Amino acid sequence: MIKTLNIAFDLVDFRYYIGATDFGTEGYWYWVHSGQNLIFTNWKVNEPRGRFYENCAWKLGIGVQYKWIDISCAEPAAYLCEKDGK
Ligand SMILES: [Ca+2]
């Protein structure tokens, strides 16, 4: 548990892919792993705005309250993964 908390603290101010995309249907945002549409979103003001050129979602850092933006899926960035707690 302590290791998990340390990792989370280190990641506070980085940008990450969060696994959401609107690739295929512009404006329809869904989770890549499940295909389900987003129920909760945390978009930054005036985001998403990349239209057909930006189809992946990033979580920004603490300076912008972890808001999301859309970005080109070709942009290099870290990513977050979900793991079963079992
Ligand atoms: Ca898009």
Which of the 8 DSSP states describes residue 37? B
Is 84 inside any structural domain?
no
Mean pLDDT per 10-residue segment, the chain (86 residues): 49 81 96 95 96 94 89 88 77
Is 53 inside any structural domain?
yes
What is the per-residue pLDDT for 13?
67
Q: Give residue 23 CA to ligand 1 midpoint distance, Å.
A: 6
- Parallel, antiparallel, or unpaired for β 16-21 and 56-59? antiparallel
Q: Give residue 1 CA to ligand 1 midpoint distance, Å.
A: 36
Distances (CA, A) of 49 to 18, 24, 71, 81: 17, 16, 9, 25
CATH number for 20: 3.10.100.10
Q: Give residue 85 CA to ligand 1 midpoint distance, Å.
A: 32
pTM for this model (two decimals):
0.78
User: Which residue in this structure is represented by tokens 């079963």?
Assistant: 84
Q: How many domains does the chain have?
A: 1
Is 86 inside any structural domain?
no
Domain span at residue 32 reads 2-79
What is the per-residue pLDDT for 77?
84
Is 59 inside any structural domain?
yes
Q: Give residue 9 CA to ligand 1 midpoint distance, Å.
A: 30
Is 18 inside any structural domain?
yes
